[in-house]
Amino acid sequence: MYHNKVLSMILAGGEGRRLHELTRDRAKPAVPFGGRYRIIDFVLSNFINSGLYQIKVLTQYKSDSLNKHISNVWNLCSQIGQYVDLVPAQMRTDGDWYKGTADAIFQNINLIDNFDTVCIFSGDHIYKMDINQMLKFHFDNNADLTISANPIPIEIANEYGIMEVDNNMKLTNFIEKPKNKPNHIPNDESKCLASMGNYIFKSKKLIKELKLDSKDINSQHDFGKNIIPKMLKKGYKILVYNFSTNQIPGMTESEKGYWKDVGTIDSYYQSNMDLLNYDNELNLDNKNWPLRTFNYNLPPAKFTSDKNNNFGIVQNSLVSEGCLISGGTIKGCVLSPNVQIKGKSEINDSILMENVIVGENCYINKAIIDKNVIIPPFTKIGFNKEDDLKRGFYISENGVTVIAKDCILKNNSCDYSNSDSDDTTD
């Protein structure tokens, strides 16, 4: 097998500014997702399930939460050469933080020397992928660089980095968020190819181009903006791997091609809501392709009555371990571990993260409530945008109300004075 000659590197330093309150205290890859997971668990599970056990995770922005999570969850056997190593920004070259995706690899170029092939994947996307199939495509075609891409409707091309290809899937052009209609993919005029930010390089070719790019004072030191266009002009063999052809064991028909860049509040919210669909596009129940994360060792979720004999009711929701629903009604929600919902409260179409406590007679609609938030009785959230803004909440373009981590609602506003910044799980 070729696995011992392949180094996997995950770019996990993303600041995630467009996630606003959710990345106030953590890097984007560390943001909770789907109740009990973190965003980075998806790419790490893809590598591990693909048998790729030599992994470097490059961190930078507010990485404490991410560091704790990886240290607690992703321990491989170093005695047989398996590892998931955290690599903080070491400023090896000029004392600067990472200036771009290519610079992040350049500053750690010493890690690549002993490998023939390098997989460089983004750490902040939601998808499942057998990376072996992309590697096989890369090796069978003797490519210098292979980029994974997902077919998307051509009408939304202006939201992505688009790759144009010939009939042999060889890259002919790369356009960042094109203003004009790009070329469609072969045999399908309705779709074009969006870059997933996942690359497989021949190591020697990558090292050469990174060194040249580091000397270019006009470069943004980014793969999409600089490295790939330069390699294309120089005639390197760059191929595009069609992600929609990827098959994993136990995959359902609806899962094929599911990939989400959860870079905004609205895309993050919708991707969580996708999990509630009967025939959902992201199957968390697939035992043939497990999604690994932290084991909380908590008791099962409990739905019971409150002191007034009002029973807890849950409909079409994901409810994690340790949750206690004592008299409230939950519809269309994603609940992380240790959430408490008390009597006569109603929560609809919302995401509640770990340790959230909702008091009696609360009404919450279309909201994201981050960890450790305490909501007092008789509170309404997500019904009046002006009231939510006055209380210091963020409102997304599509009307999702977001409450930041550690908020305690007092006098109709957020109080962070008693927040626990040393929470070991975040």
pLDDT tops 80 at residue 58: yes
pLDDT tops 70 at residue 29: yes
Please tell me which residue, 131 or 177, carries the higher pLDDT value: 131
pLDDT tops 80 at residue 141: yes
The DSSP element (H or E) to which 199 belongs, if any, is strand 191-202
Identify the pLDDT of residue 263. Answer: 87
- CATH class for domain 3-274? alpha beta
Identify the pLDDT of residue 328. Answer: 87
Mean pLDDT of 237-262: 91
Mean pLDDT of 75-90: 85
258 contacts: CB under 8 Å, gap ≥ 6:
126, 127, 128, 281, 282
Do residues 30 and 38 touch, judged by C-beta distance below 8 A?
yes
Q: DSSP H helical segments within 33-100, as ranges?
A: 40-49, 64-73
pTM of the full predicted structure? 0.93
Enter the CATH code of domain 302-415.
2.160.10.10
Q: What is the mean pLDDT of the chain?
A: 90
pLDDT tops 80 at residue 218: yes
Phi/psi of residue 131, nearest 5 degrees: -70, -20
Please tell me which residue, 27 or 317, carries the higher pLDDT value: 317
% residues pLDDT > 90 (the chain)? 66
Mean pLDDT of 373-397: 92
The DSSP element (H or E) to which 389 belongs, if any, is helix 385-390
pLDDT tops 70 at residue 91: no
Mean pLDDT of 68-76: 91
% residues pLDDT > 70 (the chain)? 94
pLDDT tops 90 at residue 291: yes
Do residues 311 and 304 touch, judged by C-beta distance below 8 A?
yes
CA atoms within 13 A on the CB side of 349: 11
Mean pLDDT of 344-373: 96
Long-range contacts of 230-234 (CB under 8 A, 24+ apart): 231/144, 231/145, 231/205, 232/171, 232/173, 232/174
**Paired tokens of 371:** 């960890």
Do residues 135 and 129 touch, judged by C-beta distance below 8 A?
no
Do residues 227 and 244 touch, judged by C-beta distance below 8 A?
no
Residues of the chain with CATH 3.90.550.10: 3-274
- 296: closest CA among 21, 35, 97? 35
Identify the pLDDT of residue 240. Answer: 97
pLDDT tops 60 at residue 421: no
pLDDT tops 80 at residue 171: yes
Residues 13, 140: Cα–Cα separation, whole Å: 32
pLDDT tens, position by position, 33-45: 999 999 999 999 9
Residues 401, 394: Cα–Cα separation, whole Å: 6
Q: DSSP H helical segments within 215-251, as ranges?
A: 228-233
Give the N- to C-terminal CA distance of the chain in Å, as an integer.
37
SS3 letters across 14-52: CCCHHHHHHHCCCCHHHCEECCCEECHHHHHHHHHHCCC
Partnered with residue 211 across adjacent β-strands are none
pLDDT range class, residue 422, cuts 50, 70, 90: very low
pLDDT tops 80 at residue 203: yes
Residues of the chain with CATH 2.160.10.10: 302-415
Residues 171, 240: Cα–Cα separation, whole Å: 6
Order of strands, edge to edge, in the sheet holding 367-369?
318-319, 334-335, 351-352, 367-369, 401-403, 394-395
Mean pLDDT of 206-223: 92
